[in-house]
């Protein structure tokens, strides 16, 4: 039966209750107020979920589970977008001015299309290359991201629930939620146990919100929130797409998917946008620097050329060409290309990049904050000891712990699995878990009655179990301090006695002794026939009896020590942020070589103000017993101190800190919410993989900044050369179209920069986008090229050009002056191409060029081709069309002297620059 054929069976008023006929708010309020039976009837579903044949019908009727952000613009629009940047607009403007002047001031037979033609080629090459690289990078990123897929546990045909991709969820599906899950769509909760979710992605609230399955929802009266100021997110029986389950479990029916969800509506206006990062700000600040320079230099060049040459229209075109010449038009394409290549390189190291810009952010980090378990340790927790309060092995402690872990409904973490595995193993030994009962028999004898799930504030988990006789037991396990807080008695040698200060001190001392051996210690407590069984609350966790300890060991990874040393050698300090005890964290850190310079606990972090905490986080390397909010606060403080911070984690408690960091790092086995928050995902849970990723990020950044610094400094030098030439020469040193062509040829030779080799020295320290450094580099090396341009000008004007034209400028007729100017312009065109290409090899490395460090073959080949084109062009018909004239052999002898002198001076300036700034790039 399809959804459409069902509607006649629905009451008349309910025919309107569809996403297509009601507003989003009206529909969600209606689903919150309806009973589950009414809602299942409307959705043609049931508690056992949809039948196989109904899934496609539901998707067709209600829509797919895809938000507006997932929509991809058509290829023609993406191609047009590749041409949308301010520098392209300037080029198009110059072309239009050139065409208009030709049509207005030139005769029909003498109109010249060379300028607009070359500008058109520049625009076409830049835009097409950018489009191609964007497409390649997007495809690479999408194919890598598809390797990491978030799943939802969906029940269909009463199969009990199976994981499926989020985009396959449809309205009417029954979804099972548990700790660590991302809510896949808007759900109406019809069964829940202690469900707490974080709605921070929708509301910004950091505190978890309890959701329940009340049939008489106090938050929904008449289909609207309870009070006029209420929000949909306050409705207690609705869970919204993008929320994350902090604790507990639930079942809910999907009532809205994709763009019709709260999350989809909120993100609909943000389609195509991405969050701004430090990398984005670096690109923007560099662009602002270039635009300011253009705004300053354009009127200066215009006025100078207009006054000295008398041709204001030509001066306008030339000044616009100079402004374009200052700007690296290929920067967007080069950045995309570098990042795309970096993502592919990282994939070879088993690293998946979800956000391309994160590659540079990864290379920039100087502080790595990491969780302890599974990152520094083997992620193989073993229950070493189960002890009574005297420190003796006690199978009763294991029995209670087994029941607690076995019947808990949340995500089974490493500790729960270790307890269950140990209990099953001991059940086959001569000493079973309980006399006469194996672990399997215990599980059959007892059944779950109620539960208080673990959360990061209480730091404990309580389960109530019952037997066939109606007897119930509450069993609590958790951090020893938190379990002690709800105990009033202790059991020693089979006798229960009050928990005195002396007993408390003895318990904590024994726990500390175990922690000093590198073990994580939990307490186990019990309570017979708790009053709140069946409707358990936190208030029922009281007056319990402590019966013993559980001591776990998660051995440090063999590779962790090597990775920590490698990270330190590359300028990355490692700080451990864990919810575990300080003693365990210290023991692990010392065993793998992390200096324990200071320890801060969650209690201290909570007590300190931001200024006080900022003074302490610099020195501390271990942060223990932190809540998720405290982890995020430490990361935020570190970033505020100017550090680039990466956070690596895999649990629910790590997601907030990952979002606060410059680069969130997780692993493919992490919980859904951690993978969703991450920018980088490791396919191997190993810090050595991360270290290789950091190096790849630094190589990517090195090639990007290499292009920017080289190009901006060369073009900046050309501006000074133009100003000098404009003041003293009776003609333009290069026409607008010649200058544009020079810029095009040079930019094309730089398209191989992303594949250039990077010296190992450039990857040893963190690298961040530095606009001030770009400005200093530009003002150091730019004027140096101008010095040799002026030398070339003088030699051309007083020696080469008179020899070619047959006399000095003032003695020549119009034809002779045209020959003189064309020879001069061809000479500077060739010299500029040589110096700009040569400087790529001189300042791409701090080593001896060509000997100590060689550029990649593609960069060498393109550079050689560019120089060859520049040298041959004046001798070709194309050169004649550009008003170039052939140069005599004496010019090339002069050129050789200029190149040698320029290279020598650049190397000297490079050494001084390195001594002053400590680095070149």
Distance (Å, rounded) from C-alpha 70 to C-alpha 63?
Answer: 14
Read out DSSP for 454-470? --TTT-EEEEEEE-TTS
Other CB atoms within 10 Å distance of the CB of residue 89: 12
Match 């271990």 to its residue by tokens.
622
Please tell me the number of Cα atoms within 13 Å of 402 on its side-chain side: 28
Active site residue 672: no
Instruction: Look at residue 64 and give its three-state secondary structure.
Output: coil
Distance (Å, rounded) from C-alpha 206 to C-alpha 212?
Answer: 19
Distance (Å, rounded) from C-alpha 4 to C-alpha 758?
Answer: 63
Distance (Å, rounded) from C-alpha 90 to C-alpha 43?
Answer: 56
Read off the DSSP letter of residue 675. Answer: H
Match 């060991």 to its residue by tokens.
553
Read off the DSSP letter of residue 621. Answer: -
Q: Is the dihedral of CA 868, 872, 876, 879 positive or negative?
A: positive
Distance (Å, rounded) from C-alpha 632 to C-alpha 654?
Answer: 8
Cβ pair 532, 360 in contact under 8 A: no
C-alpha pair distances (Å), 583 with each of 285, 467, 579, 649 = 45, 39, 12, 20
Task: Find the catalytic residue in 173, 186, 194, 371.
Answer: 371
Residue 756 makes CB contacts below 8 A (sequence gap 6+) with 703, 706, 844, 855, 856, 859
Match 């809602």 to its residue by tokens.
39
Rounded to the nearest angstrom, the gap between the alpha carbon of residue 220 and the centroid of all alpha carbons in its chain is 38
Other CB atoms within 10 Å distance of the CB of residue 896: 11
Read off the DSSP letter of residue 49. Answer: -
Distance (Å, rounded) from C-alpha 758 to C-alpha 831?
Answer: 27
C-alpha pair distances (Å), 458 with each of 225, 463, 516, 552, 674 = 31, 14, 24, 20, 21
Distance (Å, rounded) from C-alpha 903 to C-alpha 835?
Answer: 8
Distance (Å, rounded) from C-alpha 381 to C-alpha 398?
Answer: 15
Cβ pair 150, 106 in contact under 8 A: no
Cβ pair 36, 238 in contact under 8 A: no
Distance (Å, rounded) from C-alpha 116 to C-alpha 705?
Answer: 31
Q: What is the CA radius of gyration of the chain?
A: 35
Residue 552, H or E segment: strand 544-553
Q: Which two tokens stand for residue 595?
A: 């200096």
Q: Is the dihedral of CA 36, 41, 43, 44 positive or negative?
A: positive
CA dihedral 607, 610, 616, 617 (to 10 degrees): 110
Cβ pair 501, 556 in contact under 8 A: no
Distance (Å, rounded) from C-alpha 897 to C-alpha 903?
Answer: 10
Cβ pair 612, 206 in contact under 8 A: no
Distance (Å, rounded) from C-alpha 244 to C-alpha 201?
Answer: 9
Which region, left, alpha or beta, applies to residue 908 given φ > 0 means left and ψ of -120 to 50 means alpha? alpha
Tell me the pairing of strands 663-667 and 645-648.
parallel
Catalytic machinery residues: 371
């Amino acid at each position: 039966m399809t959804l459409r054929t069902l509607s006649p069976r629905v009451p008349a008023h309910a025919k309107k209750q569809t996403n297509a006929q009601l507003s989003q708010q009206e529909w969600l309020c209606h689903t919150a107020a309806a009973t589950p039976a009414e809602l299942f009837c409307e959705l043609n579903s049931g508690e056992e979920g949809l039948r196989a044949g109904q899934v496609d019908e539901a998707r067709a009727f209600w829509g797919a589970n895809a938000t507006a952000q997932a929509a991809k613009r058509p290829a023609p629009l993406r191609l047009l977008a590749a041409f949308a940047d301010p520098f392209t607009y300037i080029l198009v403007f110059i072309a239009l001015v050139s065409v208009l002047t030709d049509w207005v001031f030139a005769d029909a037979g003498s109109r010249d299309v060379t300028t607009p033609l070359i500008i058109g080629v520049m625009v076409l090459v830049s835009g097409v290359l950018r489009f191609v690289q964007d497409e390649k990078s997007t495809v690479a990123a999408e194919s890598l991201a598809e390797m990491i897929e978030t799943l939802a546990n969906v029940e269909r045909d009463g199969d009990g629930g199976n994981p499926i991709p989020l985009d396959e969820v449809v309205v009417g599906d029954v979804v099972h939620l548990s700790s660590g899950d991302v809510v896949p769509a808007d759900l109406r909760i019809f069964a829940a146990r202690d469900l707490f979710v974080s709605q921070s992605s929708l509301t910004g609230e950091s505190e978890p919100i309890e959701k329940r399955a009340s049939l008489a929802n106090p938050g929904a009266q008449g289909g609207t929130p309870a009070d006029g100021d209420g929000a949909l997110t306050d409705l207690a029986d609705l869970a919204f797409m993008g929320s994350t389950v902090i604790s507990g479990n639930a079942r809910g029916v999907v009532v809205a998917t994709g763009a019709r969800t709260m999350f989809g509506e909120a993100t609909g206006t943000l389609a195509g946008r991405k969050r701004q990062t430090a990398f984005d700000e670096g690109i923007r600040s560099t662009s602002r620097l270039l635009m300011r320079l253009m705004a300053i230099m354009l009127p200066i060049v215009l006025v100078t050329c207009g006054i000295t040459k008398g041709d204001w229209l030509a001066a306008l075109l030339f000044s616009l060409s100079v402004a374009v010449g200052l700007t690296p038009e290929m920067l967007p394409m080069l950045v995309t290309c570098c990042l795309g290549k970096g993502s592919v390189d990282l994939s070879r190291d088993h690293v998946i990049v979800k956000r391309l810009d994160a590659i540079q952010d990864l290379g920039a980090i100087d502080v790595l904050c990491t969780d302890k378990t599974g990152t520094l340790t083997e992620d193989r927790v073993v229950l070493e000891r189960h002890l009574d309060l005297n420190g003796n092995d006690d199978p009763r402690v294991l029995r209670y712990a087994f029941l607690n872990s076995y019947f808990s409904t949340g995500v089974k973490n490493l500790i729960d699995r270790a307890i269950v595995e140990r209990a099953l193993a001991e059940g086959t030994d001569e000493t079973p878990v309980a006399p006469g009962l194996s672990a399997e028999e215990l599980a059959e004898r007892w059944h779950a009655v109620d539960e208080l799930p673990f959360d990061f504030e209480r730091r404990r988990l309580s389960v109530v179990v019952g037997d066939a006789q109606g007897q119930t037991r509450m069993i609590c396990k958790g951090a020893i301090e938190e379990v002690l807080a709800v105990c009033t008695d202790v059991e020693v040698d089979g006798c229960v006695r009050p928990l005195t200060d002396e007993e408390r001190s003895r318990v904590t001392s024994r726990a500390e002794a175990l922690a000093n051996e590198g073990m994580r210690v939990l307490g186990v407590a019990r309570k017979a026939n708790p009053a709140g069984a069946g409707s358990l609350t936190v208030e029922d966790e009281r007056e319990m009896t402590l019966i013993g300890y559980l001591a776990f060991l998660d051995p440090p990874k063999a590779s962790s020590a090597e990775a920590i040393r490698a990270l330190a050698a590359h300028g990355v300090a490692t700080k451990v942020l864990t919810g575990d005890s300080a003693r365990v964290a210290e023991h692990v850190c010392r065993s793998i070589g992390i200096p324990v310079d200071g320890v801060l606990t969650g209690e201290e972090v909570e007590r300190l103000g931001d200024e006080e905490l900022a003074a302490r986080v610099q020195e501390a390397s271990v942060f223990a017993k932190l809540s998720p909010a405290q982890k995020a606060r430490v990361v935020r403080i570190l970033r505020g101190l100017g550090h680039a911070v990466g956070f690596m984690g895999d649990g629910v408690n790590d997601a907030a800190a990952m979002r606060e960091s410059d680069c969130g790092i997780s692993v493919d086995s992490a919980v859904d919410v951690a993978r969703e928050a991450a920018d980088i995902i490791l396919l191997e849970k190993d810090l050595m993989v991360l270290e290789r990723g950091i190096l790849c990020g630094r190589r990517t950044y090195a090639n990007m900044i290499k292009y920017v610094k080289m190009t901006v400094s060369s073009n900046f030098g050309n501006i000074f050369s133009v100003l000098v030439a404009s003041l003293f020469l009776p003609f333009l040193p290069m026409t607008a179209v010649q200058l544009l062509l020079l810029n095009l040829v040079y930019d094309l030779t730089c398209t191989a920069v992303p594949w250039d080799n990077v010296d190992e020295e450039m990857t040893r320290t963190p690298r961040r986008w530095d606009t001030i450094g770009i400005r200093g580099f530009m003002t150091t090396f730019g004027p140096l090229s101008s010095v040799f341009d002026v030398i070339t000008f003088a030699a051309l004007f007083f020696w080469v050009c008179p020899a070619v034209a047959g006399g000095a400028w003032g003695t020549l007729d119009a034809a002779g002056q045209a020959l003189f100017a064309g020879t001069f312009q061809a000479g500077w065109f060739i010299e500029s191409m040589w110096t700009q290409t040569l400087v790529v090899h001189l300042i791409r490395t701090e080593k001896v060029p060509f000997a100590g460090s060689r550029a990649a073959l593609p960069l060498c080949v393109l550079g050689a081709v560019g120089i060859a084109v520049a040298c041959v062009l004046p001798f070709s018909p194309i050169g004649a069309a550009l008003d170039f004239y052939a140069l005599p052999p004496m010019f090339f002898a002069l050129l050789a002297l200029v190149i040698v002198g320029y290279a020598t001076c650049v190397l000297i300036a490079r050494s001084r620059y390195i001594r002053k700034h400590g680095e070149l790039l």
